[in-house]
Chains A and B, each alone.
Chain A
């Protein structure tokens, strides 16, 4: 008695649709003179949403949205060894060995780590963010070797950004779920220009200088939100994050080919990637619903979107069984491996 395709589509419409609608309208409103840059992985469905709405005349974007295959891990790797990276890369929770940190947060392979860092250092245990200064101190002597190791990645990312035309032309408007804009800040420095970020939620609104550019962050549903304050679109954002992913998973490396093309490397796949055909139904249902609403001039307030998200993420049984297998998220970044947010939040 499982009507899976229909169930997935309608789940997508109700779970993701209202937030998509509000977000897409905000992208349109803030898009003048800017090119929407949909950051991987969440950007994968944003790019499809915006392209669909734009193509069907539901919104008008001055520039076509672009999908940018980046991740925190990729940019951390590319910028490894630079002073400006440490506050961004070592501020989030982590507990484990330095080897684990190098692997999981900076995307180094084991042999890479061992080739540039002493065994004694790799075996040391570290707890972040408490030991951030220790980590910097320990890594400092090895910076030249680290930079040399990741130089091909840095070159690949820079070439990729240039190939997409992001270093010149209209200002990039980075689109992502949120929250502190780490990717945007690093891209701002690498692009050497001002960027605007439009997120579901921001934890800290800022217009900080990053190298030659200023990264401005804006939250559509809430700004300056804090973890643990009971705002479920942040506290239980893992549920949105689980679904809002790309079929290829996390980008961990990019290399420029000799013919000017690019070769991407991806991290391990979570269930959402393995069952991407189901996730596609969820996205399609949501996008189709948003298009219908836009045709009918329907709008939602942020409060309505928040209330629906809270209901879905706090009520047992609100998320239908047909979608349970999609709720897995790769949290290797924090050393947690694959997480199941439904189990984590006991829903």
Chain B
């Protein structure tokens, strides 16, 4: 049976890779984003390449008031919802200027809570479904280089774990994804270590498999689990003096 997937933030590199990966295995997809034309092009691309149903819808993570209507007009209701949208922002700017901090927090956390609350409600009633949240290893421990982003992702990780606990009782699957470095538009200007940097396609493949296997939390690439374990084990007294 072909399932329907809703991708929130589908025009990000990972979002696009996910939309294509799920379509490739016969899922119908709804790509949601703010740029309508680019989203329509992506939907057309998916329909032509994979011969599955694909459609584009307008979605703005920060327009909380619109989220209930957004969800109500989806038909059919998606079997799988993936929240990929996020905003890395600029840490230095965010430390000086609250508007930037707010944008980081609201995009990565508040917006996600707003839409996923609605999805959770609906899936809980239906007693089936899957919610995937793309968090980040940056949420595991605050570091001077990106702690505003990291703190928003930490909150999102905690939200997802609570949601998993609640929805387990109605058979709804919640997957937390913690990517490390990914080679995307967002990181194009950074000098990332190639061995630790995943392609959007690799990340999409990992997520696709984790959904099939009903996993709870995955790291991608896998070695980030161990890297973060070490980073978490460094005593605070030492950690605070490191330049990370």
A, B from the same assembly: no
Interface residue ranges, A against B (CB under 8 Å)? none
